[in-house]
Amino acid sequence: ETMIGTTDVPVQHPGDAGIDADEIAYLCAAANRYFRQQITVADVTGTWSGIRALYDNGADEARTVTRDYHLDLDTRAAPILSMFGGKITTARALAEHALSRLGPELHFSARPVTRDRRLP
C-alpha cells in the first residue's frame, strides 16, 4: 500500500473535514504523472482527513501561511506548552523540540529516541 496526499481544502468546522471525489481524482492524476503503473479511483482502499491548524503569521491567504510549527511555552503557573501548525512530516522534529522546551521546566533531560526508527 502507498499513502498519497495531500490536498489543502479549507473548512469552516472540524466536522466538515473529508475528501471528495474531485480530490481523489486529483491525487490519482498527480501520482500517475510519475509512475508507469497507473492508478484509478477503484484502487483507493481508504482515505483520511484532518485539520491543519495553521499558525497565524499575518499572511493574507491561507495558502501563503507557513506550514512550520510554532511553540508557545507559558510558565506563569504550571508549564503549558501550546503547539500551533506543523505537518505530519515534521512530527518527530516537533516532538523533540517540544520536549527540549519542557525538559528544563519539568526537570528532565530530553533525548531523541525515535529519530532513526522506521515509521509504521
Per-residue pLDDT of 5-64, as tens digits, reads 877 788 888 888 899 999 999 999 999 999 999 999 999 999 988 877 777 777 777 666
| Model confidence pLDDT, tens digit, residues 101-113 | 999 999 999 888 8
pLDDT of residue 63: 67
Indicate the pTM of the whole model.
0.58
pLDDT of residue 27: 95
| DSSP secondary structure letters along 17-40 | ----HHHHHHHHHHHHTT-SS---
pLDDT of residue 32: 96
The values of phi and psi at residue 97, to 5°, are -65, -45
The mean pLDDT value for 85-103 works out to 87
Whether residue 92 contacts residue 115, with contact meaning beta carbons closer than 8 Å, is answered with yes
